[in-house]
Amino acid sequence: MGGPRSAVGLPRSGVFRRQSATENARSSRRDLPRADLHWSTRPRLTPGTAMRSVSSRSDATMLPHRPGKATFWVIGMLAIAIFGVILSLTLGDRTTTAQVVDAADMHTVGRGDFEIMIPASGELVAGSQVEIRNLLETRAVITEVVGEGSFVRKGDIVLRLADDELVDKIKDGEDKVQTAESSVVAAEQSLAIRRSTMASDLEKADLEIEIANLDLKAWEEGGVVTTRQKLDLDIQTARINRDRTVRRAADAEKLLGNGWVSFDEYEADRIAMIEAEARVKEFELARTIYENYTIKQEEATKRSAVEQSLAEKGRVRQRHEAEIVKIEADVESAHFKRDTAIERLSELKEQLKACIVMAPSDGLVVFASSLSGGERRGRDNDPPPQVGTELRQNELVMILPDTSRMIASMKVGEALSGRIKEGQSAVIYSDSVPGTAIPGTVLGVSVLAESGGWRDPNRRDYTVRVLLDADPELGLKPSMRCRGEIVLGQVENAITAPIQSVFRAGPLAYVYTTSEGGFAQTAVKIGRASEMEVEIVSGLDEGEDVLLRRPTAGEIVSEIDTKTIEGMFGGGRPGGKPSGRPGGRPGGKPAGVAAAGKPKSAGTS
């Protein structure tokens, strides 16, 4: 303890020492020999004083022993010496605690690779499972059931139900089918008769329509043409006669002037001319009336006859179709009753088959009473299915999970769910086979988040399904607890540091690097990170040592100042070294960091 102490840090051995102006003076005092430190107040003896002291002791042995000043003086010196030793040990231990760092607390930064993974936990579920339910609509009572935990093959009988009641219902159903068949035959015959009558009446209506059409066609092609020709002939004859009488009257007027004809003859010719002109107008008016009115009346009459015959056919069809619809409804009703009876009989036969339940696939038998959550058969105290147990309709009796294709259903936080994609690899560890890594592939992430419930209502978790590539010999089963690591990516050939060596103060990330006599805060820019390691983009070089814990106040020799932070986050060069080194600010409040709050350890980014 009396030897001198070294103030030089030893980074490779893990021992580092702090030295300041105050500690230099304190260390100088500790470097003195312990005897000089403890007995510095004792007077130095000369030969003369030594002889007097010996003589005094010799005289003292000849006198009776009693306490004196010398005794008290010796006791006081011993007390001072003991107090000095205790004080020295106390100060020495405190200094050693502040200065000596274990090698396990240090890490040498280097290049390497690591995977970016997200931890998750949950339970195993079967990739697919078959539910065995009670399909009977009638009273179902178990007469035989396979034992829980048995591994069954496809086609093995796993459940048998009582079928006496179904057999009686099947007999009644067969009678109903026969009665319905007779009703169908009678209805179909009535329908056939009505359809035949309808066809006969429609033929008569078609004949009336044909006669009306022929009459219309004869009028259009014969009657109209004949009438027009007659009217045209009358008009032409009247015009010729008019022209003749006009010429005769003109000639008579000339002859009257010459005195060759009498005035009576002249007047007779004029009267004949006027009559001929009136006759022309009469025939032209007759033609106009025919073309504008008479022909339209005749056409309307002929066409009305056709339309009436067509309408009569429609009325005949409607009357018969109404009767046919009624009879067809009777036929359809008879068919429905027959089909219903047949379908019901078929259902009863299917339910009779359902009394014997066979395993649709290979699987492990798990009773519904052993399931948790909403798939339980009933109350928590319901016994497992056994002989004599009465089942409800569609009640879940058991499931057959396919253990050959297992899926890990795990929960991840809402903040990390967006980074998980289909097809990413994962490593799963089951509590049933601890230490065995099971590879897997992410199938997907649930669309909606699940609430943390009343315990943590603000928590939101997403379910991640991971398909396992597991060895069947592992014996994995549904509901087994598991944990896993989902690989998001790979960081290669990067400068890395342990995650616990990085601390944060607001947006600033920094580490503690070794410096003369202690540790200095060094700003770093971090990149991708996993649960254990973080990528150092800038701020550290290979071979530098970083502290894996938060140092004590006495171990910090340099802190990051405000200008460094502004340079990193205000356009300056990121990842710079701290401006303060030994001799700057060895103690006190952090420069620039204290304003941002107490630094906290960096988490996964």
Distance CA 354, CA 360 (A): 13
Do 405 and 467 form a contact (C-beta atoms < 8 A)? yes
> ∠28-29-31 over CA atoms, to 5°?
65
The DSSP H or E segment spanning 112 is strand 110-126
Report the pLDDT value the prediction gives residue 567, as an integer from 0 to 100.
Answer: 58
- The 3-state DSSP class for residue 392 equals coil
- Among 10-19, 101-110, 293-302, 542-551, which stretch is predicted with the lowest mean pLDDT? 10-19
Residue 512 has pLDDT above 90, yes or no: yes
Whether residue 514 contacts residue 556, with contact meaning beta carbons closer than 8 Å, is answered with no
Task: Identify the residue whose tokens are 């007047």.
Answer: 267
How far apart (Å, rounded) are the C-alpha atoms in residues 343 and 339?
6
Indicate if the pLDDT at residue 84 is higher than 70: no
- pLDDT per residue over 547-574, tens digit each? 999 999 888 888 887 565 555 555 443 4
- How wide is the angle at C-alpha 588 spanned by C-alphas 586 and 591, nearest 5°? 85
Q: Which pLDDT value is given to residue 324? A: 92
pLDDT of residue 87: 52
Give the right CATH number for 129-162+358-401 from 3.30.70.100, 3.30.470.30, 1.20.1730.10, 2.40.50.100.
Answer: 2.40.50.100
The SS3 call for residue 180 is helix
Residue 15 is given by DSSP the state B
Lowest mean pLDDT among 92-106, 346-360, 464-478: 92-106
Mean pLDDT within 187-198: 92
For residue 32, what pLDDT is reported? 33
401-434: pLDDT as tens digits: 888 889 999 999 888 888 899 999 999 999 989 8
Of 107, 106, 105, 112, the C-alpha closest to 496 is 112
Across the range 445-470, mean pLDDT stands at: 87
The predicted structure's pLDDT at residue 93: 41
- Whether the per-residue pLDDT at 514 is higher than 70: the answer is yes
pLDDT at 1 over 60: no
Fold assignment, 406-601:
Elongation Factor Tu (Ef-tu); domain 3 (2.40.30)
Rounded to whole angstroms, how far apart are CA atoms 427 and 440? Answer: 6
Q: Please compute Rg for the chain using Cα positions.
A: 61
Measured CA to CA, the distance from residue 536 to residue 526 in angstroms comes to: 5
pLDDT score at 117: 86
Q: How far apart are CA 388 and CA 139, in angstroms?
A: 12
* pLDDT tens digits along 316-339: 999 999 999 999 999 999 999 999
Q: Look at residue 490 and tell me whether its pLDDT is greater than 70.
A: yes
pLDDT at 28 exceeding the cut of 80 = no
- Is pLDDT of 445 > 80? yes
Distance, in Å, from the CA atom of 510 to the CA atom of 523, rounded to the nearest integer, reads 4
Q: Is the pLDDT of residue 15 over 70?
A: no
Q: Are 40 and 75 in contact (CB under 8 A)?
A: no
- Report how far residue 491's alpha carbon sits from residue 83's, in angstroms, rounded to the nearest whole number: 59
Alpha helices in 450-514 (DSSP H): none
Over residues 366-381, the pLDDT tens digits come to 898 887 544 444 445 5
pLDDT tens readout for residues 160-186: 999 888 889 999 999 999 999 999 999
* Range 83-104 average pLDDT: 54
**Helical segments of 259-392, H only:** 263-289, 295-354
Is pLDDT of 156 > 50? yes
Round the average pLDDT of the chain to a whole number and report it. 78
Q: What number is the average pLDDT over the span 39-54? A: 34
Residue 3 pLDDT more than 70? no
| CA quadruple 224, 226, 232, 234: dihedral sign | negative
Which three-class secondary structure string do you get for 426-481? Answer: EEEEECCCCCCEEEEEEEEECCCCEEECCCEEEEEEEEEEEEECCCHHHCCCCCCE
Handedness of CA 447, 448, 452, 453 (dihedral sign): negative
Check whether 2 has a pLDDT greater than 60: no
**Which pLDDT value is given to residue 109?**
92
Residue with the larger pLDDT of the pair 7 and 142: 142
The Cα 183–Cα 189 span in angstroms is 10
Report the range of poorest mean pLDDT among 24-28, 359-363, 459-463: 24-28
What's the pLDDT score for residue 137? 86
Sign of CA dihedral 407, 408, 409, 415: negative
Q: pLDDT for 236-250, tens place per residue? A: 998 999 898 988 888
Q: Which of 494, 581, 572 is nearest to 540 (CA)?
A: 494
Least confident of 53-67, 99-113, 351-365, 443-457: 53-67
Kindly tell me if the per-residue pLDDT of 21 is higher than 90: no
pTM, two decimals, is: 0.46
Q: How far is residue 218's CA from residue 484's CA, in Å, rounded to a whole number?
A: 99
pLDDT class for 503, splitting at 50, 70, 90?
Answer: very high
